[in-house]
Every structure is written in structure tokens, then in C-alpha cells.
Amino acid sequence: MPRQTVSFCIPTHGRTRLLLEALESGLVQTRLPDEIVVSDDLGSEEVRSLVSKFSRRASFPVRYVHCTTGPSQAANMNNCLHEAACDLALLLHDDDLLLPRRSK
């Protein structure tokens, strides 16, 4: 059976410091994502630049998308999930972190 692909979906609302921490947490996983999608409902140049810089360090695609469907959290989440190209999606808000797997 082929391995399923995984998108990390991160909706954000202009919180670059938190977003960077969320993005960094994706790099310390035992199973790296096949892509990260960041959906920004503000269309912030600061967020776009942060995602661009981060993507140069990642070994997988990291995409920035501007959510134009409305400034609501639900619209931004839906946009992010809609943009995901993989079999599975993990929704990770910009103020959440993924913890590395601990050894037994």
C-alpha cells in the first residue's frame, strides 16, 4: 500500500512570531509533512516574506496563500484545507505547536 501524503495546514492572522514557531515545530517531527500550506486572511507582506524565507530551509514545499473569502477564522481554515494537495490534512493554528515524538 502506498504511503499517504500529509499536508500541514496553518491558518494565520498576522501573528508572525507565533507562525514561525508553528512552522518550526513541523521540522522536528519523526514524519515530516509532504507540504505545509499557510493561509493568511490579512494578505500581509510580512507573513508572505516569513513563509518564503522558511520555505528555502524546508525539504518539502511550503506554500503561502492569501484567503480572500473573508476575514473570519472559519473562512481562513476552510481556505487552508481547500488548498491542501495531500491525502491527509493536519490543521495546526498559528498559535499551536507540534511536539517532537518522545523516546520510550
Cβ atoms of 37 and 80 within 8 Å: the answer is yes
Distance CA 37, CA 84 (A): 7
**Spatial CA neighbour of 81 closest among 66, 91, 73:** 91
35-81 pLDDT, tens digit per residue, is 999 999 999 999 999 999 999 999 999 999 999 987 789 999 999 99
> What confidence category does residue 12 fall into, taking pLDDT thresholds of 50, 70 and 90?
very high
Owner of C-alpha cell 511536539: 99
pTM equals: 0.92
Q: Which helix (H) or strand (E) holds 10?
A: strand 6-12
